[in-house]
Amino acid sequence: MSTPHNQAKKEDIAKVVLMPGDPLRAKFVAENYLQNAKLVNSVRNMYAYTGEYKGKRVTVMAHGMGIPSVGIYSYELFKFYDVDYIIRFGTAGGYKENIKVGDVIIAKSSFSESRYAIDLGIKDAPKILYPSKLLLDKAIESATSLNMKYHLSQVASEDVFYNCYTLEQNIARTQNSDAVEMEAYALYANAQLLNKHALTILTCSDSMITGEEMSPEQRQTSTKNMIELALDIATRLE
C-alpha cells in the first residue's frame, strides 16, 4: 500500500524507523551507515531508505520541519505501515549554559503550546508529553555502552522559529526546558495515541547563551554521535 505522502509498499518499511528532519541527512545515513540501502520513497523529496545496520533491518526516512510535517509522516508510518518504533534525530537550540554546541540531548519529555495532541484526539492532552520508556531506557543503555556524554532533558517543541520572546521568557514559558526544537511533541503524541514507541535524540546546533552555531553543512553531517546512538538503539530492539 501507499499513502498520499509515501509511495513505499508496506513491506518496504522496517519495523524500526530512524527519522531526521532533513532529507539530505537521511541520504547521508543511508550512504554512510546502512548496508544494501534501497530508496523506497521520494515523494516530495522526503527520502526513505531501507537497509541493514549490523544485521538489523532499519528504515531511515525524513520528516521535514515542524509539528504538522512530522505529525503526518510519523502517523502514517505507525498507522498504515505497522512501524513499531520511531527514533527521531535532529538539531536543537540550547537554552542553558551547560548545553554546548555539539552536545547530544535525549528528550525525556517535550513541552508545547501546540493543540496538536488535542486535535489528534487525545482528550485533555497535557502540555508535556513523554517518550516510550522502553526506548528511553535503551537510549541510556546505548549511550552508556558507547561511553557517550549526553543530557537527559526536557525540550520545547515550538511552532514559531523566530519568536518574540527573550531567552528568559522562553525558559519560563516552556516550564524550564533545556533546549528548543520543533517536532518531538507531535511524535510523542502520535505514539501515545497509537500505542507505539517513540523517542527524540538531538544535537545542540546553536547556543542561545553564547550565540555559537553550526553551519548548514555541519547540521547535515556533524551529528555523528547522535546518529550512531540512534543506530545502536535500533540494534537492541526486537
Residues that are catalytic:
206
Q: Is the C-alpha dihedral spanning 23, 24, 28, 30 positive or negative?
A: positive
Could you tell me the CA-to-CA distances from 199 to 44, 61, 88, 166, 230 in Å, in that order?
25, 15, 6, 28, 9
Q: SS in 3 state form for 14-62? A: CCEEEEECCHHHHHHHHHHHCEEEEEEECHHHCCEEEEEECCEEEEEEC
